[in-house]
């Protein structure tokens, strides 16, 4: 028998080391690409959330401002004819309101407090930890839906509702002389009627809301500025402004410019932050400019925000941190306030 040596095939040590090295380089490239894509997706998600929050804030404030000054069938006199006496304090309980306060409230459905301006002492427990560079906005109107109707909350005697008397027959037993020129507010013992003098007039919940930016979201010091909202509603045996609740995170600042009509034609003649506005000035507000500075909830690695941001007449920044920001601006025509003044 003849034995022959057979040469075995395979990789040499050098070839094996080269192939391993090439494989590692390919894997490193794939890993770097994956990390880069993950980081890009994370930043994109942050930006998308910021855009969504910014637009939501604008939509919320615009919708509320569009309703400002809606009092159902009641049309207050022009401020130039019957000027308000004072600016209503939004944080006092309904039980303290008098006829003068209510009349001023109907004339001033929108009012605000520019950053740095003092709020009434009654608001100290409601507007807590405010952002120092952000304004406070107050909006008033009667609900656009009737209590008990589909999509509207049921009537509750303990809450505050507005009713307009439409019964004009002064000889009718259901005619209420004291409700001739002004709506009835929160008087369970008094009932006013529609034009036929037998059907109870619509009850519309009185809505008074305050908006401001708090310097934290969930716990003090978490560093997430948040838009807050406080609403006028039942509490115990009275109706009063409730504690503010968080609405939207990542809102750095909100600023407002108020357009005032000086000649009763429904067109804003001058815009400013109304820092020194009188009660008559507030009653002449027919438009509002809304400026919102939104920021990401998390910082972006390697980013330094050295930009400045223009919110009306105010410039904010640079903040020199890792958060990305964007300004959203809108103009709101107060349909109810301005529409009553328009001339054909």
Q: pTM for the full model? A: 0.88
Residues with Cβ within 8 Å of 27's Cβ and at least 6 positions away in sequence, in order, are none
Q: Quick check: 31 pLDDT over 90?
A: no
Give the number of other Cβ atoms within 10 Å of residue 316's Cβ: 19
Nearest to 106 by CA among 141, 65, 138: 141
CA distance 224 to 131: 11
Confidence bin at 24 (pLDDT 50/70/90): confident
Q: Quick check: 188 pLDDT over 70?
A: no
Paired sense of beta strands 226-235 and 251-260, if any = unpaired
Residue spans of alpha helices (H) in the chain: 13-67, 99-107, 279-283, 335-339
Confidence bin at 254 (pLDDT 50/70/90): very high
What digits encode the pLDDT tens for the residues 68-91?
999 999 999 999 999 999 999 999
* 251-260 β-sheet, strand order: 270-272, 251-260, 285-295, 325-333
The token pair that represents 54 in the structure block:
């910014």
CA distance 329 to 313: 12
Residues with Cβ within 8 Å of 294's Cβ and at least 6 positions away in sequence, in order, are 50, 51, 53, 54, 57, 250, 251, 252, 325, 326, 327, 328
Bigger pLDDT: 169 or 43? 169
Q: Quick check: 211 pLDDT over 80?
A: yes
Q: Quick check: 145 pLDDT over 90?
A: yes
Are 283 and 85 a contacting pair, CB within 8 Å?
no
Give residue 37's pLDDT: 76
Residues with Cβ within 8 Å of 226's Cβ and at least 6 positions away in sequence, in order, are 213, 214, 216, 217, 246, 247, 248, 249, 250, 251
- CB neighbour burial string for 33-49, b if at least 16 within 10 angstroms, e if fewer: eeeeeeeeeebeebeeb
């Amino acid at each position: 028998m003849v034995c022959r040596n057979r040469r075995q095939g395979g990789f040499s040590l050098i070839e094996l080391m080269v192939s391993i090295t090439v494989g590692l380089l390919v894997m490193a490239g794939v890993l770097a690409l994956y990390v880069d894509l993950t980081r890009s997706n994370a930043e994109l998600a942050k930006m998308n959330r910021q855009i969504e929050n910014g637009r939501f804030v604008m939509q919320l404030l615009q919708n509320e401002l569009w309703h400002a000054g809606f009092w159902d069938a009641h049309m207050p006199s022009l401020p130039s004819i019957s000027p308000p006496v004072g600016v209503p304090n939004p944080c006092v309980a309904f039980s303290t309101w008098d006829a003068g306060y209510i009349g001023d409230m109907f004339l001033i459905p929108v009012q605000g407090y520019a950053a740095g301006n003092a709020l009434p002492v009654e608001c100290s427990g409601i507007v807590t930890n405010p952002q120092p560079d952000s304004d406070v906005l107050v909006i008033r109107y009667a609900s656009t839906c009737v209590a008990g109707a589909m999509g509207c909350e049921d009537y509750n005697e303990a809450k505050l509702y507005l009713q307009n008397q439409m019964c004009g027959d002064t000889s009718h037993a259901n005619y209420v002389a004291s409700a001739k020129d002004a709506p009835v507010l929160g008087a369970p013992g008094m009932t006013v009627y529609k034009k036929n003098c037998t059907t109870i007039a619509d009850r519309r919940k009185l809505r008074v809301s305050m908006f401001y930016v708090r310097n934290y979201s969930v716990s003090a010091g978490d560093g997430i500025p948040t838009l807050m909202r406080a609403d006028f509603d039942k509490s115990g045996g009275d109706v009063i402004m409730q504690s503010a609740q968080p609405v939207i995170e990542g809102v750095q600042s909100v600023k407002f410019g108020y357009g005032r009509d000086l000649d009763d034609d429904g067109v804003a003649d001058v815009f400013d932050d109304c820092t020194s506005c009188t009660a008559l000035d507030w009653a002449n507000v027919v438009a509002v400019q809304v400026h919102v500075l939104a920021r990401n909830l998390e910082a972006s690695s390697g980013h330094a925000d050295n930009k400045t941001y223009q919110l009306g007449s105010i410039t904010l920044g640079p903040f020199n941190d890792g958060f990305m920001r964007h300004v959203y601006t809108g103009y709101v025509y107060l349909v109810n306030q301005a529409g009553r003044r328009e001339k054909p």
